Amino acid sequence: MVEFFHAVAHHGFLQYALLAGLLSSIACGIAGTYVVTRRISYIAGGISHCVLAGMGAARYCETVHGWTWFSPLYGATASALAAALIIGMVSLKAKQREDTVIGALWAIGMAVGVLFIARTPGYNEDLMAYLFGNILMVSGNDLLLILALDVLIVAAGAIWYDQFQAVCFDEEYARLRGVPVELFYLLLLGLVALTVVLLVTVVGIVLVIAMLTLPAAIAGHFARTLRGMMALATLLCALFTVLGLSLSYAPNLPAGATIIVVAGMAYLATAGLCAPGIRAWFAARFRGK
Amino acid sequence: MSAVVFDNVSFAYEGVPALSAVNLRIDDGDFVSVIGPNGGGKTTLLKLILGLLQPQQGTIRVLERTPAQARSQVGYVPQFFQFDTSFPVRVLDVVLMGRLHRIPFAGRYRADDRKAAESALRDVELAGLASSPFAALSGGQRQRVLIARAMVSEPRLLLLDEPTANIDPAVQNELFRLLDELSRRLTIMMVTHDIGFVSSAIRRVVCVNRTVVVHPTSELTGGAIADLYRSDVRMVRHDHRCAEHGHEVRHG
């Protein structure tokens, strides 16, 4: 771990990685809080897996057709927003079979991505990077896109804080008070989609859902307001990212997977400590002494 | 003037009739209790008044307008146990949701919204709990918060869906005292599952079981209740006042 912090001072790519992780933590805290409180982690999972279609298509166009401006992250942004819109419409209109449709889109998105990548000449290590993240490959351009998305997410979260809170807490009441709840639901999914794009660079498509849920779920045990939950989730997300990155560096482990294992263990520990039985046991012990 | 008028209204959930050929008139300033068996259509009646459901037949007027147009002047208190108890939200934030119709599309609550929410909390005697987590409150306190949320939108008609469910009798009496006081200012329609809790301030009882029959409280007899629930029901005696409206009973 010490070795990692020495290396950060000398290697630009590590500084980029650290910056990407910290910047995406902000979006992660905001969107993750909504995913957890509105209980839409399955929808978030669907959106994140559809991102592979966009990344694969962009990579294909980049290499085969020479569209050098069309980097996989742009493809990811486009496909995440499209998936959010489609899944959002499905969940608003087709109440009965919502999970089936999301499951189908989830699989189709993955399959389309795999087909594009198979048709792209060259090494196939891209696929592994998309699926499990490769934070050490973040470029200056990627960092700019991450920063722009972060600004968008923070602005949306600040402007519509009251409306999002109402829609997540009591959608029916918000509708009765004249709030366009369907529109805000789609905006919320858009926010989640952009966050998915940020997190894909850090931990990859498959592991995104853990970053969207674990820090916010831990924060939920302690927070009294949505705002507080977002701030705490952001801090936790940053902590897990830095910890995971530094732990993975010396033994040359995959950074994304290490970050998720750290987050998962923290979640299990908190869930255990906050379980009613264990809380009571602690309370009894401390009273005894 | 009428607060609510149903003219030959029918509603069915995917072909299963919930209410058929309902005629109903609630006068401005009335305090009515809506009773009836589970699945009899009480909540459907409220949702039709709120415009959350559209009738397949007949017309509904609320405060002399369509339900959707009247919404901003209708306060609604839903059943409190439908809420996620782990949702991180403070009492004041919940009350502020009653002011959502006043904030612009891309805007926040303002200082006067906060003042109104604080004053509504004082009215339900919960001013000290403004920054407590909503989840930490007792059932009776949550119900008061939801009433404050409804009152902060300055409604002319207040609808309550089983405000006394899961609340112990002492707290129920406090709640009724609050509603009695509010009934001097606005029209109240309250769904109650338990007919024993029909308060003395209630002037008329709307009995809902597929059809709707309205009784002045002075007329409510064991026979009418037994007809409605199709079984023997223990009556609880109240000191009824005579309804000033006399009979407006339409037997279906």
Q: Spell out which residues of chain B touch residue A226, defining contact as CB-CB under 8 Å.
A: 88-89
Q: How far is CA A219 from CA A161, A209, A222, A237, in A?
A: 18, 16, 6, 10
Whether domain A2-283 has CATH 1.10.3470.10: the reply is: yes
pLDDT at residue A276, rounded to an integer: 74
User: How confident is the model at residue B169, as a pLDDT?
Assistant: 78
Say whether domain B2-83+157-229 belongs to CATH 3.40.50.300: yes
- The pLDDT-based confidence of A238 (bands split at 50, 70, 90) is very high
- What ipTM was assigned to the predicted interfaces of this complex? 0.86
Asked if the C-beta of B68 comes within 8 angstroms of chain A's C-beta atoms, the answer is no
> Does any CB of chain B come closer than 8 Å to the CB of residue A160?
yes
CB contact under 8 A, B94 and A226: no
Query: pLDDT per residue over A93-118, tens digit each?
Result: 876 678 888 999 999 999 999 999 99
Asked if the model's pLDDT at residue B186 lies above 60, the reply is: yes
- Give the A:B interface size as CB pairs under 8 Å: 72
Cβ-proximal residues to B65 (8 Å cutoff; 6+ apart), any chain: none
User: Given a cut of 90, is residue A194 above it in pLDDT?
Assistant: yes
Structure tokens at B77: 């208190």
Q: Which residue has the higher pLDDT, B224 or A198?
A: A198
Domains of chain B, by residue range, sit at 2-83+157-229
Q: Are A40 and A248 in contact (CB under 8 A)?
A: no
Q: For residue A161, what is the nearest residue in chain B, using CA coordinates? A: B108
The residues, any chain, with a CB within 8 Å of residue A1's CB and separated by 6 or more, are A246, A247, A249, A250
Q: Does B243 touch chain A (CB under 8 A)?
A: no
pLDDT reported for residue A71 = 83
Structure confidence by residue, pLDDT tens digits, B73-114: 999 999 876 778 889 999 999 999 999 998 988 889 999 999
Rounded mean pLDDT of A29-52?
A: 94
* Predicted pLDDT of residue B221: 62
CA distance B129 to chain A (A): 13
CB contact (8 A) between residue B109 and residue A162: yes
Average pLDDT in the A21-46 region? 94
**Which chain B residues are Cβ-neighbours of A165 within 8 angstroms?**
89, 93
Max mean pLDDT range (A7-11, B163-167, B237-241):
A7-11
CA distance A18 to B173: 60
pLDDT in tens, A239-262: 999 999 999 988 989 999 999 999
Q: What pTM was estimated for this model as a whole? A: 0.86
pLDDT band at residue A134 using 50, 70 and 90 as cut-offs: confident
- Considering only the beta carbons, identify the residue of A159, A163, A173 that sits closest to B78: A173
- Residues in A closer than 8 angstroms to B47, CB to CB, are none
* Domain boundaries of chain A, sorted by first residue: 2-283
pLDDT of residue B223: 64
